[in-house]
Structure 1
């Protein structure tokens, strides 16, 4: 089958989702009010609460939630064939991710920009809040620790990407000053910022920087991880307008340009999908398609991490409540477009079926490498760009998104410690510097405590990320659904995705439980049991909260 057919169908369906379905949700379900005073105005402080242009905020939100996951997940999941991955990404984006991300922003804005974890205590109950906070902490711990490993690995393997990755930070700092000080208009700043970013990408191969394999008794990979966490700690304490917003905004623009380059090359080359639609000859040890597909592809279909970003940083910067549709739902569409590109690169970016099968010789293979190699093949043959330049472009794209997600993730982890300080009345934990230190310390403890000298400890618990992340998405949908019930609005648009996610998450946890037992991996087995218990408790809390809320609404009726 022609890859162009999938491209047109996928993009067309997502466009219909945004222009029709999200408009319906905004008007009939969330009922956005353009005159509502958002927390960004009510609590404006110039650091975390900053009213922001919706295009700039979209850039922050989109690149924070995108990361490397919408590349890695789909590029692994195509081992079952391109059809299941394609259908889950498209339908998941339209009916799951969009309403989840959009709803998390709306729910937080309507409750003084509280994080979805803190909001759970008010909407559902203290017991649910305790479960939520534990799940949130686990997800953030995994994301921050693993993305540091991913970025470090990319810079070790692709020395041409080092200059563009770190140079983008300087570009973002300059862009932030130009926008905030109103030196130039946003369109002019945007053009100059993108030109500077792409200039760095073309310069990168000419000035490769290779970290030595060993520095002061540490591996080069470990040194990069320490540098990344030092940077992320500083970035999490800076005002959002100074680095976080402009970095995410410029990265958002470069992603769309990168997607246009990849999509344009694909149209000109018109490659055939060499992978089968449904792969009946999967490698030995590959788990079953159902339910693993729905936790392998999280970002790009629906992801609980998005709810943390929506209610953690995005809701504090929303200028008008009506901007939530563009920022939240269209942010999910942008990620769906990235996931679609990953699917096409990982299935049409190989010359033969044999080449594709060599890449996917075991479950878990593919990922970023399949995206970079497949995408570079398409761009090189479609547009004639040198393959090393195309590979650098895609590597930088993946590394920059992982970096922006890590920036936001560490800031969110700082918020978690501050919220714990508020909940348990520990004022010292509410201080930003201390909370940041605790966040970084916990990540490094996992990275080096569990992973040893190379700092790859996050990879040890990564197999549980998919299920834990989808459980978090279910919790977020639970909060939104209870709010809708109390407001006497239709709830099925959020309740149906909630029920589906809970069923798939519990099935996946049970399947993984057997896998860890057979492997003799007691550490992951215990963690799996903890998450499974949390999932069951979430299902029970869901039923109880909905029943309680419907009873309260019934009693209020005359």
Structure 2
């Protein structure tokens, strides 16, 4: 438990110390931001700082720091080091500069920023790569939640249309179309803060449940520095890829421009971009701790966690929440495993629209121009 608390403290101190160094390196000033200067009422909309933070957190997180961290816990508490230092020195820096470079370039997508600094060849590579990957992400986070809802309905005894995968897939895609098409503050700006708070509360509830239950003990890094993976999978580089969203993820660079278009001041960047990544790191650290402490260890290997994950990641989340928070935890888990991936899917499609709009220089302030991109993308 000492190593967990140390890593948690390092993450918090890292936000104030190294995060400030990163902020000073960029040098935010009082210049007029794209949200103020352009303000088209659709993608460029000024939002309050607290809302920017929570929307950014949901944009970049979803279930990434939960699924990835639980899988990463298979290697044991050594995963705490990757989450902690990866967040401070890699993820936070990556997300901050992705957002702030976009902010300095009229809220441009990451592909356009790449073109400015690395030339037209890399710009076109990033354009194609970004759009294809964003649509793939959106597709996964449409089919996945639809399947989870069907599973929940089946477990509750429902039948008929409520257990139809196609029905829920259509419902989710209709929502995605709405969230991609209309103003960012009309849907995303209103519901994301609520779900962001739920994500944070779920993590707090999990760690509180671990601390208050004497049956659960978070192992120390120095006692289990080697790999505890039951399959013998090496730490390098599999653990780093598995826990990508809890330390550094390229997907975040496609999401940060969404909030870069909604900032009233450049000086909000430290809290919004670096701060949201540190918050995601804290959430990942907590879920990794849950994976390391709640399940049986056999012969120095995390066999109990492997068995839980083999039943399905969603069921593993239910199990953790149930063990640490009881009935309240199950309710939060149901919200988390359904809503969190949806909040990554809709912004993935929205980012795809904006990337295409920047690519083909199509203004998005008219309904007709947005429909030209929304319809083929969805």
Cα 1:374–1:356 change in 2 (3 A) is: farther
Q: Deviations over 1:68-94 (max 9, x none)?
A: 1111112112222231x2111111111
* RMSD between superposed Cα atoms in Å: 2.9
Q: Which structure 1 segments of 5+ residues have no match? A: 162-207, 381-385, 441-558
Q: Compute the displacement of 1:365 (Å).
A: 7.0
Structure 1 position 21 matched with structure 2 position 15: no
Cα 1:274–1:7 change in 2 (3 A) is: closer
Structure 1 position 323 matched with structure 2 position 323: no
Q: Distance in 2 between matches of 1:62 and 1:273?
A: 26
Q: Which residue of 1 aligns with 2:345?
A: 406
Cα 1:359–1:62 change in 2 (3 A) is: same
Q: Distance in 2 between matches of 1:91 and 1:50?
A: 34
Structure 1 position 92 matched with structure 2 position 86: yes
Q: Distance in 2 between matches of 1:229 and 1:304?
A: 24
Q: Deviations over 1:405-428 (max 9, x none)?
A: 1121111111223233339x9xx9
Q: 1:269 aligns with which of 209, 213, 231?
A: 213
1:126-525 correspondence runs (5 A): 126-159=120-153, 210=158, 212=160, 220-270=164-214, 271-273=216-218, 277=224, 282-284=229-231, 287-311=233-257, 313-350=258-295, 352-353=296-297, 357-361=303-307, 367-380=313-326, 386=327, 389-422=328-361, 431-440=369-378
Q: 2:74 aligns with which of 79, 98, 105?
A: 79
TM-score normalised per structure 1: 0.62
Structure 1 position 53 matched with structure 2 position 22: no
Q: Compute the displacement of 1:209 (Å).
A: 8.0
Q: Distance in 1 between matches of 2:43 and 2:157?
A: 35
Q: Distance in 2 between matches of 1:279 and 1:158?
A: 38
Q: Distance in 2 between matches of 1:62 and 1:211?
A: 35
- Bigger shift: residues 250-259 or 329-338: 250-259
Cα 1:363–1:128 change in 2 (3 A) is: farther
Partners of 1:417 and 1:429 within 8 A in 2: no
Q: Distance in 1 between matches of 2:62 and 2:345?
A: 8
Q: Compute the displacement of 1:323 (Å).
A: 0.2
Cα 1:131–1:123 change in 2 (3 A) is: same
Which is bigger in relative contact order (C-alpha 8 A, separation at least 6)?
2
Partners of 1:156 and 1:210 within 8 A in 2: no
Q: Compute the displacement of 1:305 (Å).
A: 1.1
Cα 1:211–1:135 change in 2 (3 A) is: farther
Q: Which structure 2 segments of 5+ residues have no match? A: none
Number of aligned residue pairs: give it.
371
Q: Deviations over 1:215-246 (max 9, x none)?
A: 8xxx7223322221111111111111111112
Partners of 2:77 and 2:219 within 8 A in 1: no
Q: 2:9 aligns with which of 7, 12, 17?
A: 12
